Each structure stands twice: as structure tokens, then as C-alpha cells.
Amino acid sequence: MPAPDIVDSHCHLDFLELAGELDGVIARARDAGVTRMVTICTRLRLRPQVQAIAEAHEGVFFAAGTHPMSVADEPMARIDELVALSAHPKMVGIGESGLDYHYTAESKAQQQQSLRIHIAAARETGLPLIIHARDADDDMARILAEEHRQGAYDCVMHCFSSGARLARAALDLGFYLSMSGIAAFPKSQELRDIFAAAPLERILVETDAPYLAPPPYRGKRNEPAYTVHTAKVGAQIFGLDYAEFAAATCRNFDRLFRKAA
């Protein structure tokens, strides 16, 4: 019996840890039931190679933006640039963008400017915004809400590992929370409780490969096939069997990432 279909909503197939054996990585994902993947461009100048990976592989889509940790080192993204890129049939999201004050607090002002540019592009294109948030919960909640009042847009809090207040703020705006391998770590009960309090119809799963491999691969290179291990924990959180949870997260992905449906 084939594995139930599931989606890895966020990975980095262009990163060196995966790019060298991409055919094998994608084949293992398919064997595990991961039928679709979104590979994320984190620096816009690298977008052509990320796009090429999506073009070369069925079921692989891409998103493009400037990662907050890279904002100080890269040209500031432009709304018209992101809108033009969105015409590609396999570009399904804007980002990842966001705020990271853990490692790069010195570029806080530039990160906030970049985030608002990405939000404007998401609003204009109708594509979902993909958010990275670390140690910036208050500013993140404030900016997302301020911008939402200027005009609605769709959003996923990628690799969600922030606090309950930011989770609630995002959910109140109609946004989605994405579960990564962090949610499967033994010491992540507080995070699992945050997911358990969220509506099932707002949950996605991802790997963030090559990072954050879930048990039993923790500490090793992550890859899209391991989406299954995080999703099995997600199923336990929601009291579902794996196939039910996988199907629910696929429906959620289709609702948010409409171009990839």
C-alpha cells in the first residue's frame, strides 16, 4: 500500500547539503509519500538556480524573497521585482522574509523595511507570505497586524517555534502555523501545546531541510522525506492517525498555496 500523500511546505533544495544528490533526495521523498515540495530562495540573486530546480522536477515549486538574516548583505528587494517574478507558473510564495533578532538584531530597521516590502508584494500578487520569526515576537505581531489593516494578505509562520502570543496573533489574522522537526524534539512540549491549541485547518508541515531533522535523524542532515516523522508527531498532537493528519495538512496547503494545488 503506498504511503499517504503529504507536502513538505518549506525546504532548501539548492543548498549544498542537498543539491549534490538532488535526484536521490527527491526520489526518497516520493517513496515516503512526499509528492510536493516548496523550495525556498533566501537571496534573490540566487533565484535562477532555485527556479531551475523547480522547473526540472515535477511536484517541486519555489518561493522567492530575501531572508531577514541576509538583508544587510543583499540589495533591498523591490515590490515590482517580486511581483514580476510571481508570474512564473511554479512560483507559489513570497519569502522567506521576516525578523531575526537572535543573530542579526543590528539590522533590525532594514529587516522591518524588507518585511513590509514582502508583505506588499504578497498583497499585490495574492501569493502567501512565508515568515521567519526569531526573538522578535512583539515587533512581528505588531507589523503583521498593522499591515493587515492596510489590506488583507495570506501568510504562513514557517518553522513556527515562537511563543503562544505570536501564535495567537497570527491565527487571529487568519494565518497558518507550520510544524518543523523542532516540534518533534523531546524538550518541545511547550511548542506542541501551542500547536494543539491551534485549529487543525491552519497547520502545515515542513522540514526546513537541510536543517532541523526530526528524531530519529536529529543532528543529521534533514531532507524532505523526513516530513513524515514530524507529521507523525503532529498526528499524535491532534489525536489523529497519520493518514488523516497528512490529508488535513495537504488540504491546508492547497488552500494557502493555491498555485501549487
Domain of 193: which CATH number?
A: 3.20.20.140
User: Which letter does DSSP use for residue 23 in this model?
Assistant: H
Residues 84-121 pLDDT 10s: 999 999 999 999 999 999 999 999 999 999 999 999 99
Complete edge-to-edge strand list for the sheet that includes strand 203-205: 6-11, 34-41, 60-64, 91-100, 129-134, 155-157, 176-179, 203-205
41 phi, psi to nearest 5 deg? -90, 125
Q: Nearest Cα to 167, choosing from 151, 178, 183?
A: 178
Is residue 59 one of the residues assigned to a domain?
Answer: yes
Does the model's pTM come out above 0.85?
yes
129 phi, psi to nearest 5 deg? -85, 135
Is residue 56 one of the residues assigned to a domain?
Answer: yes
Residues 34-54 pLDDT 10s: 999 999 999 999 999 999 999
Q: Is the pLDDT of residue 1 over 90?
A: no
Is residue 253 one of the residues assigned to a domain?
Answer: yes
- How many angstroms separate the first and last alpha carbons of the chain? 24
Q: What is the pLDDT of residue 2?
A: 85
Q: Kindly state the helix (H) or strand (E) to which residue 64 belongs, with its residue range.
A: strand 60-64
- Owning domain of residue 141: 6-260
pLDDT, averaged across the chain:
97
d(CA 229, CA 242): 10
For range 151-168, the mean pLDDT: 98
Is residue 1 one of the residues assigned to a domain?
Answer: no
Cβ-contact 171, 199 below 8 angstroms: yes
CB contact set of 56 (below 8 Å; sequence gap of 6+): none
Is residue 133 one of the residues assigned to a domain?
Answer: yes
For range 143-150, the mean pLDDT: 98
Measured CA distances, 126 to 76, 91, 149, 152, 154 (Å)? 21, 12, 16, 9, 7
Q: What is the pLDDT of residue 53?
A: 98
Structurally, the chain folds into a number of domains equal to: 1
The pLDDT > 70 percentage for the chain reads 100
Q: What is the pLDDT of residue 148?
A: 98
The pLDDT > 90 percentage for the chain reads 98
Is residue 30 one of the residues assigned to a domain?
Answer: yes
